[in-house]
Amino acid sequence: MQIIPAIDVIDGKCVRLTEGNYAQKKIYNEHPLEIAKQFEDAGLQRLHLVDLDGAKAGKIINWKTLETIATKTKLMIDFGGGIKTDKDVEIVFKSGATLATVGSIAVKNETEFTKWLLQFGAHKFLLGADVKDEKIAVGGWLETTNINVYAFIESYVQKNVQQIFCTDISKDGKLEGPSIELYKNIIQKFPEIFFIASGGVSSIKDLEALKLMGCKATIVGKAIYENKIKLEELKRFF
């Protein structure tokens, strides 16, 4: 199972939110590049980079942070937050991301996102399914829809999206353990996708459980920053 550390960016700084609440922000480092280099030095190969300013504003803001990390590390980066136009997608790839991470637009403007899948290739996108009570949430988690998570995933699996991550908002940033049942259901329904678990990971034990149930990868954030999981402990997964 691949471990994908997360860096969330506000004002160019590495932060974490709790349950997606911008008021519950904690700054961990003024320089995300330093954190990214620590991940690379520990043997990790991929990075989940999120522009939280962009997610809130509806346009990419922290692309310079992406460019800096992409230029100065060899990490494979998926970058998301505020991707709304063709130009945004182009900026993401030109700035060095391997994958563009999308969520809200896939919910709110299926026509536009489907156009990107054809234009850039479905393999270039990581689809985020942010969930609250099995319903999709959008806009930096500020808005919950009536769209069922399984129907949402199904619609894009049919359009050849290969990598999907799911975050249970009720778990995120709380270090209370991941949504095992939800992820188990998704993997059972869609065994063909590269499924990435996200949210709630608090220990190596959680990671072992996710690996056992068939997750291809897991995004880990706060547990690393709060020293609940040490970087050297992650070596058993690669």
pLDDT reported for residue 140? 53
Backbone angles phi, psi at 140, to 5 degrees: 65, 30
- C-alpha torsion 157→159→162→165, nearest 10: -60
More confident residue, 93 or 18: 93
Q: Of 147, 124, 125, 143, give the one whose Cα is nearest residue 135.
A: 147
Residue 175 has pLDDT above 70, yes or no: yes
CATH number at residue 161: 3.20.20.70
Told to judge if 206 belongs to the known catalytic residues of this protein, a careful annotator would answer: no
pLDDT reported for residue 91? 97
Number of domains in the chain: 1
Provide mean pLDDT across the span 82-100: 96
User: Which position among 51, 53, 78, 130 bears the catalytic label?
Assistant: 130
Q: Measured between alpha carbons, how far is 92 from 208 in angstroms, rounded to an integer?
A: 32
Told to judge if 8 belongs to the known catalytic residues of this protein, a careful annotator would answer: yes
More confident residue, 174 or 17: 17
Residue 171 has pLDDT above 80, yes or no: no
pLDDT single digits (tens) 96-137: 999 999 998 999 999 999 999 999 999 999 999 989 889 998
pLDDT single digits (tens) 5-28: 999 999 999 998 877 788 888 999
Q: Measured between alpha carbons, how far is 76 from 78 in angstroms, rounded to an integer?
A: 7
Residue 142 has pLDDT above 80, yes or no: no
In the chain, what's the furthest Cα-to-Cα distance? Answer: 43
For all residues of the chain together, what is the average pLDDT?
93
pLDDT reported for residue 194? 98
Q: Give the structural domain span for 125.
A: 2-237
